[in-house]
Amino acid sequence: MKRRPEKRSHPRVPLVASANLLLGNSSIEVAIGNISVSGVLFHSDRELNLGEIVSIVFQGIFQEKPFDESVMGKIVTTSRKESGNSYGLQFSTYLLPEQQPFLTGFVNRTRGKGISFLRDPEYSRAERKE
């Protein structure tokens, strides 16, 4: 099967993680599918609208250091299926090392690899011992 050339300016990095989407005064947990310096693909049972402006908050531990970083963006793509909804969020600005050092570092270091870094630290330690 022939692979289509990537049309995106910024390569996506596969990512298995969760994040919180801030919608006005409420917050919902979403599952992340991939991320780049310009946007993120996430999945949710909640129905959201094209053009909606939201903030997404990533919290976790990367290389044994905790982080809490948020990015504002606009929903630019949607896919609704019985199994759930997928959304493309275009960040209002690219990820910047000064504002999102962990996310920027992750994207730049793991292009083409993709890992999960938002895990329970105790689970991750047990996983490494096996």
* CATH code for the domain in which residue 109 is found: 2.40.10.220
Measured over the CA atoms of residue 10, residue 89, residue 106 and residue 114, the dihedral's sign is: negative
Question: How many structural domains compose the chain?
Answer: 1
Is there a domain that residue 1 lies in? no
Whether pTM exceeds 0.85? no
Residue-wise pLDDT for 44-97, tens only, equals: 999 999 999 999 999 988 778 888 999 999 999 999 887 789 999 999 999 998
| Start-to-end CA span in the chain (Å) | 37
Residue 6, pLDDT > 70, answer no
- DSSP β-ladder status, 13-23 and 39-44: unpaired
Q: Is residue 5 part of a domain?
A: no
Q: What is the pLDDT of residue 125?
A: 38
Range of the domain at 76: 13-129
Closest CA to 39 of 107, 105, 97, 85: 107
In-domain check, residue 4: no
The mean of the pLDDT values for the chain is 81
In a domain, 86, yes or no: yes
